[in-house]
Structure 1
Amino acid sequence: MVAKPLSDGKEEPACAKELGDLLSFDLSFAGPFEPAADPQQVRRRGIAPGLFDFAPLEAAAVDFLVLSGYTVAGSTLTVELRLYHVPSRSLKVAKRFTATVKELRQIGHLFSDEILLAVTGKRGPFSGGITLVTRKGGAKELALMDYDGHNMRPLTGNGSLNLHPDCAAGGAEIVYTSYKNGGPDLYRREIYQGSEARLTRSAGGNITPAFSPDGRRIAFSSSRDGNAEIYLMNRDGTGLRRLTSNRAIDVSPCWSPDGREIAFVSDRLGKPQIFIMGADGQNVRRLTTSGPYNVNPSWSPLGDRIVYSGQVEGTFQLFSIMPDGRDNVRLTAVGRNENPRWSPDGRFVVFNSSRAGGDGIYLMRADGSAQIRVSSGAGSDAEPVWAAAR
C-alpha cells in the first residue's frame, strides 16, 4: 500500500499527489504488487516506527507499506521514504533525498527501484530513461523521456532524419544513424553532456547500430561493399571488421548479454528471418521458422528470450522466443507493433504501436501483460530504447 505523503511543514498538495501517484504506478506496473486501499482507521503522526499503527494494516492483509514525508523550502525538496513489511512490522528500506522540486519524479522512481531490490533481490529499471525517434514535421529527431513518458526533452535538432538509436550499458551514451551530413552515417553521442563523434564516413549506408554489452564495440549494418552486411567496429570507429558475406541483405544486429553471439535479420532464404551467429561471424543458425517476415530482434539482458516483430495477417505483432528456437509466444494482438526492446533488468519490454492511431510508445511486462501507452501527444514516436540509469 502506498500511503499519502506527509508534509513536514507547509503542505504542497501537488507534490504529494505526484509522488503518491508515481509510486503507485511504478509498483502496480511492476507485477509483484497489487494496490491496496488505505484503511480509514489508520492514523499517522509520521513515517518512523511508533508514529503509526500496524494493526489496521494487518487486519486488511496489507503486505508492504510505503510511507513518505517531504519538505519544500523554495526550490529545494527533501523527501524521506520508508518501506515496511507489515506482517513482521519491520523496516526494509529507508532513504532520504535532497534535490530540486523539478527532480521529484526522479526521486520517486529511484525509490521504486529500491523497493523492487528489497522485495525481489533485483533492482528496478524505473529511474532509467527511454530514448526514441519522434517526428518533427518532415524531420525525425531523437528525444529522451522518463520511462513513464514524462519529462520529454530533445537530444537532436538538426532537421534531418535521425534513426535507430541504441544505448550503451551505462545509460549515458547513444549511437545512432543520421542523414544530417548527407548519406546515412553513424554517430556516438553523450546524452547528458551533448558531445558527439562521427564514426563512419563511407559512401554506403550505415544503419542499425548496436553497442556490445561492455560498450567497447558496435555492430551495425553497412552497404559499403555493395549490399547490406553486418560489420563490427570499436566504439571510436576503428578496427572495422566484416562479419557476414553473402548476396542477401543483413541488418539489425543485437547482442547476447554475454557478448558471445549476435542475432540479426537476413533475407538470405527469400524473406526476412532472424538468424544468430557468433560474435566472430561464425556458426550462423536460423532462429525463426514460423511466419513469412520476422524483424527487429532484441535479446533479453537475462539471456533467456529474444523478442521480435513478425508479420501476421498483413500487420506486425510482437513475439518472444527462446534463443534455441523453442517456445515462440505471441505477445500482442491489436494494431501494428514494432521495434521491441528490453528494459535493463529484463522484466519489461518497450515498443511502438499504432493501436491508438499514430505510432506511440508502449510498455508491457515480459509475458505480454499490462500493456500501456506512455508517450503523449498526436505525433509519431517510434524506435524506443530503454537505458539504464546513469
Structure 2
Amino acid sequence: MRTLALLVTAAAVTAYLTPTGATADVATTAKPTPPTVTSGVNGRIAFSSDRDGNYEIYTMEADGTGVVRLTFTSLGDPAPSDIHPAYSPDGDWIVFSSNRDGNGYDIFVMRADGSELNQLTSASGEDSMPSFSPDGQQIVFMSSRDGNREIYRMNADGSNQRRLTRNAAPDEDPAYSPDGQLLVFTSYRDGNGELYTMGTDGTDQTRLTNAPSHDLQPSFSPDGNQIAFTSLRAGDHEIYRMNADGTGLVRLTVNAGDDNSPSYSPDGQQIAFASNRNGAFDVYRFSAGGGSQVRVTVNGVSDGSPSWGPTYTECQGLAATITGSESADHLYGTPGPDVIAGLGGDDVIRGADGADVICGGDGLDSMVYDDHDAPVTADLTGGTGDDGSDEDGPLGARDSIGDDVENLYGGTGDDSLVGNSDDNLVSGLEGDDVVNGGPGADELFGSTGNDVIRGDEGDDTIDGGRSDDVLRGGDDDDTIDGGWGDDQLFGGGDADVLDGDRDGDLLVGGPGSDTATYAGRNEGITASIAAGIGDDGGTTDGTPGERDTIRGSVENLVGGNVADTLTGSAGDNTITGGPGADTMLGLAGGDRILAVDGTKDAKIDCGGDLDHPALRDAVDPSAASCTGLSS
C-alpha cells in the first residue's frame, strides 16, 4: 500500500537509478479521445490491511462496517503482500499490486467481490500503484522494470504495456483526471517529490508544485477541478488540496502523526485517507472542504491505501459508467458507448456519439439529441434508435433508451421520435421530423421543419410549430395547434380541439365532437364549417387566398376577440362567439349558440331546424330561431 511506499521513498530518491533497458515510447501515438464523466454515488472503500498477518485487500462500508476480506495469500517469511487497491469506474473491478508470485510486485485485477483474479504484469522489477482510466479501458501504474521508477500505461486486460516517462529520477503515483485528458503523478526529477501532469501519451509534462519537501500521492476530485495530495512541507505527512492548475493551496489535516493516501469519494464531497495519529495506521474520512475527521477503522495493525469506489448502478442489465444523483442532473456521455443512469431528480441526458444505454430513474427525465446534425431515431419504449452520429452511419450503432425516460428531444436533422406509455414531452426541434406519442397524455412538438406528428391514447397536446405540418390526434381528447405554415390538422377518436393558427390550414374532425377554435385572435374571423374557405384572421394571411378549410367532420366553432362571422353546417353545431360584435349562423341541424360575452352581437340565427335555446347577453339581438330543443 502507499503507506509502505512512504517508507522506501527516501532510499529511492537518493539512489536515482539509471534506466538499464528500454520499452516502446508512446509519444508518437495519438492521444485517446477524452471522455466526459460525472460524479458517481458513494460505495464501499477498498483498503490494504495486515490484520490477518500479512497485507491483504479488504472492502468496507464508508462507516467502517461490513468488512470483507477479498484476497488470501499464504503466510511466509517474508509474507507476501497485496497492496495499492484501486476501484474501476463502474465499481465492478479492483486493481492492486502483489508480490505473491515471488518475483517482486506485479499488477493484478479481480472482481470487487474478490472473484476472477487475474495477473496483468510479470516483468522484472516492481509494478505497483495502479489506477484505472475514467472509461475503465486503461490502467496506469509505476514500474521499475527498466531500472528506474517510471509511469506506464496498459490496456485493462494487461496488453499493450507502454512506457510514458523517461527520467533519471523516479516517477510514480499516477492517476487519471476525470475527463481522461491528463495524468497527474509524482516526480523526483527536481531533487524532491513534486506533482506533475502530462497527457495520457506522456507528452506535455508540466510541473504543478514547487516545495522544498516532498509532494506525492495525488488524487483528482471527480469534477476535475481540484487535486488532493500528501505533502511533507510542514515537517510530517499531511493532506493538502489545490486547484488542478496548482493554485489555491489549502492544508486539510494538522496532526503530529502521518496522514497520507487521500482518495476522493465518487460524489466529490469527502476524502478518505490513512493516518497513524493514534498509533497504527487506520483509515479516516472527512469533508473535502476540511473539518472534523472521522476514524473509520480501529485496529492495532496497519490499515491504509484507501480507494473509495462507486455504488454499482444497473441500467438495462449493465453497470452504469455514468451516474447522476438523487437531484436534478445534466449528464453527458463520452464519444464512445456509455451506460448512463440518471437516478433521482429531473435529469437531462445527452449521450453524445456511440451506442449508448440510457436509464432515467425516478423523476421526469429527458433524453436530448440537440447536438446531432444527422437524422436521429429514438424510441422511449425501451427499443433502439440510431443516435445520428457520424461514426454510426445509416446502419450504425444504436442507442437503447429505457422506458423510465419521459421526455425526448431530437436534433437538427430529420428525426423519428417515439414516446412511451408515460406522459411524454417529445419535440423534434429542427428538421422535418416524425413524432409519435404513446398511450399517455403527451405533449408533442414539431418546432421548425415540415413535421408529421401523431398522438395516441391519452389527452395529447400537439403543436406543429413553424412550417407546413401534418398533425393527427389519437384516441381521447386532444388539443392540436398547427402553428405557422399551411398545416393539416386531423382529429382523432374523441372530442378534439383544432387550432390552425397562422396561414392557410386544413381542419378535419374525427368520430368525436370536434371544435375548430380561433380563441384569442384579435382580427376579424370569417369561418364556415363544411362551406369552403373562411378567413382565419391571421395578420400573416395577406391575400384572401391564405384561408382555412374546415371540413364537415368538425362540429363546433369558436370565435376570437373581435367581430367575427361564424357559420355552422347541416349537422348539430355548437358556435361560441367572443367579445366582439359577432354574426353567428347555425344553419341546419340542432344547433347551440353561446353568446354570453358582455358585448352586443350583430346577429344570432340558429337556422330552420329545431335548435337549443341560445345563451346570450341581454343586449344581444333576438334569437327567435333558436328554439324547439331543451337547453
TM category, shorter: 0.5 to 0.7
Q: Equivalent residue for 2:107?
A: 186
Asked if residue 268 in structure 1 is aligned to residue 189 in structure 2, the reply is yes
When residues 291 and 318 of structure 1 are mapped into structure 2, their CA distance, relative to the original with a 3 A threshold, is: farther
Structure 1, unaligned stretches of length 5 or more? 1-121
- Find the counterpart in structure 1 of residue 48 from structure 2: 133
Q: TM-score, normalised by structure 2?
A: 0.42
RMSD: 1.5
The answer to whether the 8 A contact 2:131-2:175 is kept is yes
Q: Answer yes or no: is the 8 Å Cα contact 1:261–1:276 preserved in 2.
A: yes
Match of 1:321 in 2: 242
**CA distance in structure 2 between the aligned counterparts of 1:140 and 1:302, rounded to whole angstroms:** 32
Q: In the alignment, is the contact (CA less than 8 A) between 1:291 and 1:310 conserved in 2? A: no
Structure 1 counterpart of 2:273, from 348, 351, 367: 351
Note if contact 1:342-1:350 (Cα within 8 Å) is conserved in structure 2. Answer: yes
Report the CA distance between 1:389 and its aligned residue: 0.8
C-alpha separation between the residues in 1 aligned to 2:41 and 2:250?
24
- CA–CA separation in structure 2 for the residues paired with 1:376 and 1:331: 22
Distance 1:273 1:123, change over 3 A: closer
Q: Structure 1 residue 374: deviation in Å? A: 1.1
Contact 2:283 2:303 (8 Å CA) reproduced: yes
Residue deviations 1:136-169, cap 9 Å, x none?
3651111010111001110111042111111101
CA–CA distance in structure 1, aligned partners of residues 241 and 64 of structure 2: 24
Task: Give the distance between the partners of 1:148 and 1:356, measured in 2 at CA.
Answer: 18
Q: Deviations over 1:301-329 (max 9, x none)?
A: 11110000000443101100111111010
2:49 maps to amino acid: T
- Determine if contact 2:176/2:220 at 8 Å carries over to the other structure: yes
- What pairs up with 1:109-258 in 2 under 5 angstroms? 125-126=41-42, 128-136=43-51, 138-159=53-74, 160-182=80-102, 183-192=104-113, 194-258=115-179
Matched residues in 1 for 2:134 and 2:120: separation? 19
Instruction: Specify which of 308, 317, 342 is matched with residue 229 of structure 2.
Output: 308
Residue 282 of structure 2, aligned match among 354, 360, 368 = 360
- TM alignment of 1:79-94, pairs within 5 A: none
Identify which of structures 1 and 2 has the higher relative contact order when contacts are C-alpha pairs closer than 8 Å and 6+ apart: 1
TM-score, length-scaled by structure 1: 0.67
Aligned-pair CA distance for 1:291:
4.3
Which of structures 1 and 2 has the bigger CA Rg? 2
Tell me which amino acid in the other structure corresponds to 1:356: N
CA distance in 2, matches of 1:321, 1:123: 19
Q: C-alpha displacement at 1:278, in angstroms?
A: 0.7
Work out the CA distance in 1 between the residues paired with 2:211 and 2:192. Answer: 12
Paired residue for 2:311?
389
Displacement after TM superposition at 1:354 (Å): 1.2
Q: CA deviation at 1:371?
A: 1.2
Cα offset, 1:368, TM superposition? 1.2
Residues 192 and 214, structure 2, Cα contact 8 Å, conserved in 1: yes
Cα distance between partner residues in 2 of 1:277 and 1:124: 25
Question: Are residue 375 (structure 1) and residue 297 (structure 2) matched?
Answer: yes
Paired residue total: 268
Question: Is this contact kept in 1: 2:39–2:223, CA < 8 A?
Answer: no
Pair 1:332 & 2:247 matched: no
Asked if the contact 2:285/2:295 (under 8 Å) is kept, the reply is yes
Identity %: 37
Asked if the contact 2:40/2:310 (under 8 Å) is kept, the reply is no
Q: Are residues 1:342 and 2:261 paired?
A: no
Q: CA deviation at 1:135?
A: 1.1
Q: Secondary structure at the match of 1:139?
A: coil
2:301 is matched by which residue type in structure 1? G
Aligned partners of 2:39 and 2:268 also within 8 Å: no
Runs of 4+ in structure 1 over 6 Å off: none
Secondary structure of 1:315's match? coil
Q: Could you tell me how far apart the structure 2 residues matched to 1:323 and 1:196 are?
A: 34
In the superposition, relative to structure 1, how do residues 289 and 377 fare at CA in structure 2: closer, same or farther (>3 Å)? same
- Displacement of 1:377 after TM fit? 2.7
More helix by share: 1
User: Any unmatched runs of 5+ in structure 2?
Assistant: 1-37, 75-79, 313-631
Structure 2 CA distance for aligned equivalents of residues 291 and 332 of structure 1: 19
Cα distance in structure 2, aligned partners of 1:165 and 1:144: 10
Higher strand share: 1
| Letter of the structure 2 residue corresponding to residue 299 of structure 1 | F
